[in-house]
């Protein structure tokens, strides 16, 4: 196993007497793609916020190397009718600093879009006119501009139509290998993440076990899969 870049040690979080996370411990190896799966309410998003330092009210510890550059792509929403107009350029520029020239920024932004399979012409179009798959790709492009060593994605397929899903996961895997990143991917879509992940973590308040995909056995029809752990 490579060096661990994320160490989660005995993390417990309770709100109003209810345990959202119960003694969760695991390590994420450098340059691996790790999927965190579990049903709704399992504590996945809570754990991600703790790992990212966005939630500091918990017991236990998180260890991430000081030299690591972390980028986070939150779950996208396609149903926000009150989102005001914003161009793709503005959406990307939110995450970048203004220390370099606008011309160079234009070139970098266009290259980042092409890199994730989105036409450079979309840079000045309205962000809200994009499809769910395109929005997710633009979000990935924005994150990659931060040159991350660790990329955390929360439910990247949530707002993506079924036909675009496999392509998006393949892109994430390809970028992870290409950029030599460590990717932590949160999902409840077990079928899609299994073939692409180096490691799958099954969370339901507590971590069931740390399993390799090959150690999963699935049964039942689509949408009714059951996971058995053999660790």
For other proteins, the binding residues (CB under 8 A) are 52-54, 70-72, 74, 80, 82-87, 89-90, 93-96, 98, 124-126, 129, 152
Q: Tell me the longest C-alpha to C-alpha distance in the chain.
A: 55
CB neighbours of residue 103 within 10 Å:
8
Cβ of residue 75: shortest distance to other proteins, in angstroms?
A: 9
* 23 vs 165: CA distance, rounded Å: 33
Q: Please calculate the CA angle 104-110-112 and round it to the nearest 5 degrees.
A: 100
DSSP secondary structure string, 6-47? EEEEEEEEEETTEEEEEEEEEEEETT-EEEEE--TTSSHHHH
Nearer to other proteins, 105 or 176 (CB): 105
Nearer to other proteins, 58 or 89 (CB): 89
Nearer to other proteins, 117 or 146 (CB): 146
Cβ of residue 49: shortest distance to other proteins, in angstroms?
A: 9
Cβ of residue 154: shortest distance to other proteins, in angstroms?
A: 10
Please name the residue that has the structure tokens 């899969």.
225
Contact by Cβ (8 Å): 185, 33: yes
Nearer to other proteins, 80 or 219 (CB): 80
Cβ of residue 170: shortest distance to other proteins, in angstroms?
A: 25
Cβ of residue 152: shortest distance to other proteins, in angstroms?
A: 8
Nearer to other proteins, 21 or 139 (CB): 139
Q: Which of 70, 52, 48, 54 is nearest to 144 (CA)?
A: 70
């Amino acid at each position: 196993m490579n060096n661990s870049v994320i160490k989660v040690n005995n993390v417990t979080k309770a709100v109003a007497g209810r345990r959202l996370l119960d003694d969760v411990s695991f390590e994420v190896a450098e340059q691996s793609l790790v999927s965190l799966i579990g049903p709704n309410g399992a504590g996945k998003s809570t754990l991600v916020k703790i790992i990212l330092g966005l939630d500091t009210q918990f017991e236990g510890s998180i260890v991430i190397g000081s030299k690591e550059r972390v980028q986070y792509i939150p779950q996208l929403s396609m149903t926000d009718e009150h989102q005001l107009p914003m161009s793709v350029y503005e959406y990307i520029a939110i995450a970048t600093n203004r220390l370099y020239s606008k011309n160079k920024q234009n070139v970098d932004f266009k290259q980042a879009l092409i890199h994730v399979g989105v036409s450079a012409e979309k840079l000045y179009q309205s962000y809200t006119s994009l499809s769910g798959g395109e929005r997710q790709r633009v979000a990935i492009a924005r994150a990659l501009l931060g040159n991350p060593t660790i990329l955390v994605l929360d439910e990247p397929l949530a707002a993506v139509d079924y036909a675009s899903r496999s392509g998006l996961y393949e892109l994430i895997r390809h970028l992870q290998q290409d950029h030599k990143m460590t990717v932590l991917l949160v999902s409840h879509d077990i079928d899609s993440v299994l073939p692409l992940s180096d490691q799958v973590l099954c969370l339901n308040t507590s971590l069931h076990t740390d399993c390799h995909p090959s150690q999963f056995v699935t049964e039942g029809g689509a949408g009714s899969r059951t996971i058995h752990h053999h660790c």
